[in-house]
Amino acid sequence: MHAETTTGVILTADCHSAIPGSSPQPTVPEDLGKEAANRLLEEIHRGGCVSSSFQSMAALWMVLTQKDVSKYLTGPFSPYT
């Protein structure tokens, strides 16, 4: 799922169904759509330009470059960061 701002910034969020056999009830497409929409709204609320699930990856790439070359805006750090 994605959203585009009036300035052309594209924000995304994703969701996937449960592994067969791991959930007592099957996941229906409508529930997946609602979950993806909620995740997108959460990312918009966080206010960063890097998805909360990829903050640590962006930070790692920045560490591997030269000093003062990269910068990015992030919302509050996620538990994975």
Write the secondary structure of 16-79 as one string of H (helix), E (strand) and C (coil): CCCCCCCCCCCCCHHHHHHHHHHHHHHHHHHCCCCCHHHHHHHHHHHHCCCCCCCCCCCCCCCC
Count the domains in the chain: 2
In tens, the pLDDT along 22-52 reads: 766 667 889 888 988 998 888 888 887 777 7
Would the pTM of this model clear 0.85, i.e. be above it?
no
Q: What is the pLDDT of residue 1?
A: 80
Same domain? 42 vs 52 = no
Assign 80 a pLDDT band (cuts: 50, 70, 90). Answer: low
Same domain? 8 vs 42 = yes
Spatial distance between the Cα atoms of 31 and 50, rounded to a whole number of angstroms: 25
pLDDT value at 14 more than 70 = yes
Measuring CA to CA, how many Å separate 7 from each of 3, 11, 35, 36? 12, 12, 26, 23
Same domain? 14 vs 36 = yes
Same domain? 57 vs 40 = no
Same domain? 16 vs 33 = yes
Q: What is the pLDDT of residue 70?
A: 78
Same domain? 32 vs 61 = no
The residue range of the domain holding 81 is: 48-81
Quick one: tokens of 40?
């997108």
Same domain? 17 vs 32 = yes
What is the biggest distance separating any 2 CA atoms in the chain, rounded to whole angstroms?
50
Q: What is the pLDDT of residue 24?
A: 67
Q: What is the pLDDT of residue 51?
A: 74
